[in-house]
């Protein structure tokens, strides 16, 4: 978020969300959950409150893309091995493997419950217990960070190809689950 809105923007959002303690001490950069779902929901509600819904969602999307990039940097040598191995697979298999690995990581190291589904045209990234919209009520889907994270993962795993990634259901809108559909066809 610092990269996206700067120090003052971070302060405004954290103060609005009643998360001032993160101004002086961020959660450690490890695989342990550093924020509760309640804190995550308050953070994204505050982001939209400070910047407006449209700009807040755009910022959330940008943060998702950055989260993937910085997460990859944190994995170091493992990424080089994965990149080399993926290079020899067809694009469709790279996408499938990438989505499976991301789902496994998020389920193992977070409290979310994510299921990966698919049909002829789409993969469905189904968040049964999503933290991004926890205790929120919105008019439109609110999990833009996850959309950005998925788009960046797909871009990396396919070495520069783009896919349509869209949240189609959201618990914040009253739906039973949050669903992000990923087109199997590239946009390029």
Give me the tens of pLDDT residue by residue for the chain, a chain 188 residues long: 778 888 899 999 999 999 998 888 877 766 677 788 899 999 999 999 999 999 999 999 999 999 888 777 655 544 544 555 667 788 899 899 889 988 988 888 777 899 999 999 999 999 998 888 999 999 999 999 999 999 999 999 898 999 999 999 999 999 999 999 999 999 87
Our measurement of the distance from residue 59's CA atom to the centroid of its chain's CA atoms, rounded to an integer in Å, reads: 12
> Exposed, middle or buried, 48 (CB in 10 Å: 0-12/13-18/19+)?
buried
Q: What is the pLDDT of residue 138?
A: 96
Q: What is the pLDDT of residue 137?
A: 95
Which residues have a Cβ under 8 Å from the Cβ of 73 and sit 6 or more positions away?
none
Domain boundaries, the chain: 2-186
Q: What is the pLDDT of residue 78?
A: 46
Our measurement of the distance from residue 163's CA atom to the centroid of its chain's CA atoms, rounded to an integer in Å, reads: 15
Rg (CA), the chain: 16
**Which pairs count as long-range contacts for 11-15, CB under 8 Å and 24+ apart, including other chains?**
12/50, 13/43, 13/46, 13/47, 13/50, 14/43, 14/46
Report the length, in residues, of the chain. Answer: 188
Cα 63–73–71 angle (5° rounding)?
Answer: 40
Q: What is the dihedral of CA 70, 76, 78, 84, to 10 degrees?
A: 90
Give me the CATH topology for the region 2-186. Answer: H-NOX domain (3.90.1520)
Alpha-carbon distance of 88 to 94, in angstroms, equals 9
pTM of the model: 0.90
């Amino acid at each position: 978020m610092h990269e996206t809105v700067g120090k003052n923007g971070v302060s405004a959002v954290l103060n609005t969300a009643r998360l001032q303690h993160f101004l002086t001490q961020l959660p450690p950069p490890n695989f342990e959950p550093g924020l509760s779902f309640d804190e995550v929901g308050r953070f994204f509600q505050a982001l939209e409150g400070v910047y407006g819904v449209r700009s807040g969602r755009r910022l959330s999307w940008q943060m998702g893309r950055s989260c993937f990039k910085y997460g990859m940097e944190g994995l170091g040598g493992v990424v080089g091995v994965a990149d080399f191995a993926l290079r020899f697979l067809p694009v469709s298999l790279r996408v499938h493997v990438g989505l499976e690995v991301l789902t496994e990581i998020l389920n193992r190291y977070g409290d979310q419950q994510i299921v990966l589904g698919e049909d002829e045209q789409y993969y469905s990234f189904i968040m049964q217990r999503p933290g991004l919209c926890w205790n929120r009520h919105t008019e439109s889907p609110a999990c833009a960070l996850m959309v950005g994270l998925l788009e960046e993962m797909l871009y990396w795993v396919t070495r520069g190809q783009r896919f349509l990634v869209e949240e189609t259901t959201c618990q914040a809108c009253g739906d039973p689950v949050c669903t992000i559909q990923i087109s199997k066809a590239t946009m390029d």
